[in-house]
């Protein structure tokens, strides 16, 4: 895809959500080529933009920045959003399409990283590893409380069998698990290699001992796991989510975890996860919507449950995956500077 009207001597780029380990790479990659600004802060913190920042041609951010229409309207010259993520549900795509703003992602950077982390959560929850550690730290040793179960012979339901879900199937096959898959299309290679059995969503709910989510967030699958669908799950099943928090209705999940419908959960993502992963999100409580406040309360209550493990959206976070993210981001920007759009999600 070509971007015919691009003719800019030096792109002005603002990088948000920049971690210490990203700083030197991005600075060196931009030096002498682009007018770039590196900011540790999230785009969410930008209540006002100075004229210099508002005139940026390109912004780059992680999923912690909510790229809303209201925020995008503050940029007067924006042509590209270079995401340092594969997901893009935090961006107002409709507005970008209306204003001819390209949105580029970094696909396939963390297939192994995310799948391995999801499997780690599954092992932790099934064997009560974190609980046993926390008990021991409090000088409590009670083998009965930490009794778990073997994964071999259990049925794993994988929701979303793209690159990450496929890697999850490979790992599960190595543990002698039965694998049920739910996706909009069948991948014959997964059936042949790992004996994946594709089923309807309801069948997956009814037959899975453990369910792991690896689907992107869309308008159609928002709260895919709600009170109705959770009630169809096998009583005592486990749920693992390293995809997007909004795939699960937090209220329904909390209810199921406290009444025994769901035995345990391993969660790397939550609805309005900023309330836990970024404490600054709560500094100005008046900026939060009723929805955000309610989710913050639910997240705090989920965090207190003994049958839940919550991590701050770090399943992707390996040295290998981060390196791929940074290289792909700069490749995307370089191509864009030469009139080509790569990995664009605005169609």
The token duo for 207 is 């037959």
DSSP letter assigned to residue 155: E
CA angle (41 as vertex; 39, 46 as ends), nearest 5: 105
Q: Which of 22, 104, 167, 273 is catalytic?
A: 273
Q: Which of 90, 131, 214, 313 is catalytic?
A: 313
Q: Give the burial class of 207: count Cβ atoms within 10 A of its Cβ; 0-12 exposed, 13-18 middle, 19 or more buried.
A: middle
**Terminus-to-terminus CA distance in the chain, angstroms?**
10
Cα distance between residue 212 and residue 208, in whole Å: 10
Cα distance between residue 32 and residue 331, in whole Å: 16
CA angle (100 as vertex; 292, 62 as ends), nearest 5: 40
Q: Which of 90, 244, 274, 324 is catalytic?
A: 244
The token duo for 199 is 């089923």
| Residue 313 annotated as catalytic | yes
DSSP letter assigned to residue 287: G
Residues 6+ positions from 42 with CB-CB distance below 8 Å:
16, 17, 61, 64, 65, 278, 280
Cα distance between residue 113 and residue 268, in whole Å: 13
| C-beta pairs of 24-33 under 8 Å, 24+ apart in sequence | 25/326, 26/326, 26/330, 29/326, 29/330, 30/330, 33/334, 33/337
Cα distance between residue 2 and residue 55, in whole Å: 23
The token duo for 201 is 């969503």
Residues annotated as catalytic (active site), given as ranges: 244, 273, 313
């Amino acid at each position: 895809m070509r971007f015919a009207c691009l003719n800019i001597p030096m792109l002005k780029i603002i990088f948000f959500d920049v971690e210490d380990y990203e700083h030197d790479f991005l600075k060196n990659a931009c030096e002498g080529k682009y007018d770039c600004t590196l900011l540790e802060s999230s785009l969410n913190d930008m209540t006002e933009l100075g004229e210099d920042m508002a005139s940026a041609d390109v912004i780059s951010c992680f999923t912690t920045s909510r790229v809303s229409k209201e925020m995008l309207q503050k940029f007067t010259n924006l042509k590209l959003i270079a995401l340092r993520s594969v997901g893009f549900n935090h961006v107002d795509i409709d507005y970008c399409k209306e204003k001819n703003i390209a949105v580029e992602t970094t696909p396939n950077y963390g297939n192994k990283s995310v799948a391995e982390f999801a499997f780690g959560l599954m092992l932790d929850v099934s064997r009560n590893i974190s609980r046993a550690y926390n008990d021991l730290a409090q000088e409590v040793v009670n083998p009965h409380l930490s009794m778990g179960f073997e994964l071999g012979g259990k049925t794993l339901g994988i929701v979303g069998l793209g690159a990450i879900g496929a890697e999850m199937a490979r790992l599960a096959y190595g543990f002698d698990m039965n694998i049920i898959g739910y996706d909009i299309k069948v991948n014959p290679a997964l059936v042949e290699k790992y004996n994946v059995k594709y089923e309807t969503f309801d069948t997956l709910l009814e037959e899975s001992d453990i369910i792991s989510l690896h689907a992107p967030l869309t308008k159609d699958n928002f709260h895919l796991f709600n009170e109705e669908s959770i009630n169809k799950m096998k009583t005592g099943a486990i749920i693992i989510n390293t995809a997007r928090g909004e795939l699960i209705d937090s209220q329904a999940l909390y209810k199921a975890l406290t009444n025994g419908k769901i035995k345990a959960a391993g969660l790397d993502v939550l609805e309005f996860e900023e309330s836990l992963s970024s404490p600054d999100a709560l500094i100005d409580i008046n900026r939060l919507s009723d929805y955000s406040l309610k989710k913050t309360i639910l997240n705090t209550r989920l965090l207190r449950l003994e049958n839940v493990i919550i991590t701050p959206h770090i399943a992707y976070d390996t040295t290998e995956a981060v390196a791929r993210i940074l290289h792909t981001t700069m490749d995307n920007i370089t191509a864009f500077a030469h009139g080509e759009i790569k990995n664009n999600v605005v169609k």
